[in-house]
Amino acid sequence: MAHVAAAARLARSACLAAHAGERWNCSSIELAPKFTPDLLTGTREQAYVYAMSAATLVWSVARACAAGALPACSCAAPPRAPPRPPRQAQAPEPHARFKWGGCGDNFQWAERFAKQFLDAHEIDVRDGKIEDFFDLEITTIETTPTTTPEITTSPPVVILVDDQPAPANFTAAPRPGRKGRKGRKRLPRSPRRGRPTRKRFRSRSRYEYEDRGSRYRNIEYRMAADDPRFDPQVDLRTRLERLRPLIASANLLNARFGRKAVSTGMRTKCTCHGVSGSCSVRTCWRSLPPLGRVGAALAADAARAGPLRPRRHTPRRAKPKLRYVTPSPDYCEPDVAAGSLGTHGRQCNASLGSAPGGCGRLCCGRGRRAVRSSRLERCHCRYHWCCRVDCQLCRLTTEEHYCN
């Protein structure tokens, strides 16, 4: 259980790191086990958390087996297929010069343990054998006010910045244009098919940001309110009683997807042996991928997650991906029923634009305020032998941006 607890801490830190610059920054995972509705109602965010939890559990237990920390398991069994020849080899070397050795990460044993530990309860809930009820106390995170630097020589200056595009000026008289065929505004031609395109006349703000599928996500979230199972105005306990079997099915699929993300990322590591580094004999073993790479891949898959559908409507060759039950809001405005804390007061970086952590992504078009402050710090320090350090005082001006 010590390695299970370590896996929970790894999942928490990976979730916070992967969503640090997003509107939903995974701050609700700090409230475990008293989760908010964003991690209870089967959203995309819950799909990511379950997949990442399964991945970190497999990763932690497999590493513990290879390190000899668990008496029930040991190193992984050597694979049947020989490893690939090294890149610097001029010609393919015979398989006799390769050998499996070292201590590979025991992914097979860790996968069986993770299935027994995580999937057993969800299978019982899905099949209706037990009724699962959470502690439904909805908690909110109180945002702490920003503190000014300790050594401040002047009060901060607050500047309001409007990120919205300037409204069109309808009062100005239109310019007299030439009539006839030559005076018409022609559309630019597409370089591929020669058809007219309207890309030039799209009015987009500099800080306007629409993440992948956010427009349709909000439409799905509004349409789900017509169904009493998804309606945010309905009591959370009532919603969970109706949605719990579906959420359990989605959790099983997401946990399997998280374990598969670890297995597909495994690589073969080799050590060369020979005279003068000739690499005449190689000792190879299978190693797990870095956990940060798995978390980033699952975060990208969570953005492309699909709704949970019945099996009869699923095509045979459908690509496996994360599944959600309840559509997620855009997390721009605070909504207790949806588990959204909003982005009001979030600190952002104005130079990033619509990138993760930028004001265009976090402020949702509401604008931002810039807080400029100055303080005195020691600078240009020089060491004099012996034993004195002389420094000058420099005025350092900083500017921080916060969403309205």
What phi-psi label fits residue 342: left (phi over 0), alpha (psi between -120 and 50 degrees) or beta?
Answer: left
**Domain parsing of the chain, residue ranges:** 2-77+93-164+207-382
Contacts of 84 (CB under 8 A, 6+ apart): 268
The pTM of the full predicted model, rounded to 2 decimals, is 0.72
Element housing 285 (H / E): strand 281-287
Structure tokens that stand for 152 in this block: 């401040």
Q: Whole-angstrom Cα distance, residue 49 to residue 255?
A: 9
Q: Whole-angstrom Cα distance, residue 13 to residue 29?
A: 10
Helices (H), ranges, 92-132: 107-114, 120-126
Q: What is the pLDDT along the chain (404 residues), one digit of tens a residue?
A: 899 999 999 999 999 998 988 999 888 888 887 888 888 888 899 999 999 999 999 999 999 988 888 888 888 887 766 666 655 554 554 444 666 777 888 888 999 999 989 888 888 888 887 765 554 454 444 444 444 444 445 566 666 665 554 444 444 455 555 555 555 555 555 555 555 544 443 434 333 444 555 555 666 666 665 566 666 667 777 778 888 888 899 999 999 999 999 988 888 887 777 776 667 777 788 888 999 899 989 998 888 888 887 665 555 666 668 999 888 888 888 888 888 888 999 999 888 888 888 888 899 888 889 999 999 999 999 999 888 999 999 999 989 999 98
